[in-house]
Amino acid sequence: MIKRPGVLLTILLVLALAVIVIYKLQTDPYNNSASNDQRNSMTEEPGSIYTIYQDNCLTCHGNNGEAQPGFPSLQKTTLSLEEIKKIIITGRGDMPPFPNITEPQLSQLAELVKRFSN
Ligand code: HEC
């Protein structure tokens, strides 16, 4: 061994690789499930802002703001958060007003709309 340091080095390298592979195998599924959890919390958690979207906006604007036929997509909106909030409160054109949606949900809803367009 001492006369052939290359062997020792190779063993060390293989060990280091094994550690990296095991580390990857353990962390990747964890990361995936973490992002799944995040997605679920946006779409399924009761009382989440998406539930408010589902109850009030989805029929016209679609699951992810992609819009139902005859209604505008929210994925293409260039409006600011303030402008979106105003439209939600006062309505516009064929969109009814939602005066019952108040802060902090109002801001969260506007942010959700902005996320659709990202
Ligand atoms: C009855 C159908 C309907 C519902 C329900 C509805 N909207 Fe709308 N929405 C529309 C229509 C129609 C327009 C286009 C208004 C216009 O003529 O300018 C619009 C426009 C918008 C716009 C402006 C898009 C842009 O880029 O100009 C936003 C933002 C928006 N809606 C968000 C919402 C949110 C958030 C909700 C739920 C609180 C909601 N809408 C509920 C029909 C609806």
Of 33, 46, 42, the C-alpha closest to 65 is 42
Q: Which residue has the tokens 């005859």?
A: 70
User: pLDDT tens across 79-98, in order?
Assistant: 999 999 999 999 999 999 99
With a 6 A CB cut-off, is 88 part of the ligand 1 pocket? yes
Q: Is the pLDDT of residue 113 over 80?
A: yes
Please tell me the residue having the least CA distance from ligand 1 atom 6.
Answer: 57
Q: Model-level pTM?
A: 0.71
Residue 93, φ and ψ in degrees, nearest 5? 55, -120
Domain 47-118 has CATH 3.20.20.70: no
Q: What is the mean pLDDT of the chain?
A: 82
Residue 103 beta carbon below 6 angstroms from any ligand 1 atom: no
- CB-based burial, 37-66: b 16+ in 10 Å, e otherwise: eeeeeeeeeeebbbebbeebbeeebbebbe
Q: Nearest to residue 81, comparing CAs of 113, 42, 37?
A: 113
**Structure tokens given for 44:** 């399924």
